[in-house]
Structure 1
């Protein structure tokens, strides 16, 4: 079973997404950027879902720290946010994000489908390197 780390500061969303994701994945959550970074190092997920606007460390700062850390830089990160500006999307892409999901564009069920697609993409990339 794939392991997902969800880093989301809004408690209601975090609980709602976790409940849906647990239907298909082993899920760990974090409520802010600092906790998310620590849990990425501990939990070693197969994929991280990362909000951008959060206390302590914002999602872009967390993404940059993940990609600079040899022990966890291999973990794919998908931004999960309502920040839909072109500049934010470009900054995340340049920092190493695998993808970008706008929360308001879908439902928890749609999110589950999107994550499955990202995991297939990650697996395909890993096999292509062999």
Structure 2
């Protein structure tokens, strides 16, 4: 028996995943140039609310923390977790736990005693660090 096609090929190998910060920047740029959120949603096959949420993705996020996340594929819950922290604690939490630690912490609902120490990092850092 001989296969005529390459069965190991999947189309997912050809998909480019954009980090959420890059999506945000592209959406902001499009809206600044006059494209409506509804037009973007139609083009991408998403809901308008989703486009608006991605437009506001970095609201409440320190620029230094946003810079740390610019090339990282992470959950949108990580940004929600960071918004709950003060601006001076966000980069420190990312440096200590990394995106993987915050993602795990956010995925588990932020319950104490999980393997991520994001809550202890936020509580124990000195207050002189700033963005």
More strand by share: 1
Same fold by TM (over 0.5)? no
TM-score of the aligned structures, taking structure 1 as reference length: 0.27
Which of the two has greater helix per residue? 2
